[in-house]
Structure 1
C-alpha cells in the first residue's frame, strides 16, 4: 500500500506554531494549489490543502515560511474525525508532511540560508570542489 502526496503551492497565511503538552512542536498551514485546468467559465480553480508538520520541521516552517511564499510539501494524506459541540461528526482531511521545501527566498531578496545564524557562505570554490 502507498499513501504519498507531493504538493506545490502558496501559503494562505503565516504558519501557526503550537506545542503539545509533552513539548512537541506542531505547525499548521494551508497551501493554495492551482488545478491544472480551467472550469467551464475558463477560470482556474484552486484547492486549499491543510498541511501539518511536527518537531524540528514544524519549527523551521514557523521560522522561515510566510504568507504568499511558494513551498512544496511531501507527506501522507490523513483523514480523521471528531464530534463537534453539536454532536455532529466532522471529518478533516490534511497532509502530514515529513518534507517541506522552501521554494522562494525571504522578502528583500535575501536567501533563506542567510537568516540562519550558523550559515557561512562558501565563496572560495575551485573546479576541484565541484562534483561534476
Structure 2
C-alpha cells in the first residue's frame, strides 16, 4: 500500500502550470513538523515536495498561499533523470490526491487571477488569528521551527 497523509504549512505560494487540454498542475513544498525534539530540544521540520492536479490544484491555488496550514493525502512517487553532467538524479515527491484547508492565507502573488476574495467568515478570522505568530524557518534551519498543533 502506498498512502501518505501529511499536515503542514505551505512554504511559498504554489507554482502553477497548465498541462495538456487546460488541466492545471500546482506544486509546492510543505513544511511538516517532526513529532520529536532533536538533541538541542528543538522541533525540526521536513520539507516535502507536493504536486497536485485538476480541480484540487485550482482550489488550492485559489485559497492557499505561503503559510497556509493544510492536510494532504496522496501517494509517494519517485522518478529519475539524467543531469547535464550525465549523473543520474532521483526525486521523491508526494502526488497529492486530496487537500484539506485548515488555516488559509491569501496567495501573495498579485498575478493570480484566482486570488481569494477579501470576504472571510468568522471561522476564517478565528483561524487566521491562531497563525499570527507563525514564521517559516530560515534557510539555515538553526533554531527556528514551525509551531506544533
TM-score by length of 1: 0.77
- Between the two proteins, the alignment pairs up a number of residues equal to 111
2:120 to 77, 90, 110: 110
Flag as ranges the 4+ runs of structure 1 deviating above 3 A: 105-109
Once the two structures are superposed, residues 113-132 of structure 1 have per-residue CA deviations (whole angstroms, 9 ceiling, x without a partner) of x9xxxxxxxxxxxxxxxxxx
Match of 1:40 in 2: 39
Give the match for residue 71 of structure 1.
70
Gaps of 5+ in 2: 107-117, 125-149
Q: How do 1:76-87 residues align onto structure 2 when only pairs under 5 Å count? A: 76-87=75-86
SS of equivalent residue, structure 1 residue 61: helix
- Structure 1: gaps (5+ residues): 115-132
Are the equivalent residues in 2 in contact too, given 1:17–1:59 (CA < 8 A)?
Answer: no
Are the aligned partners of 1:16 and 1:27 in contact in 2 as well (CA < 8 Å)?
yes
Counterpart in the other structure of 2:52: 53
- TM-score using structure 2 length: 0.69
Distance 1:93 1:35 in 2: 18
1:8–1:93 distance in 2 versus 1, CA, 3 Å: same
Q: CA RMSD in A?
A: 1.8
Given that 2:10 and 2:67 are in contact with CA atoms closer than 8 Å, whether structure 1 keeps it comes out as: yes
Deviation of 1:53 after TM superposition, in Å, equals: 0.3
Match of 1:23 in 2: 22
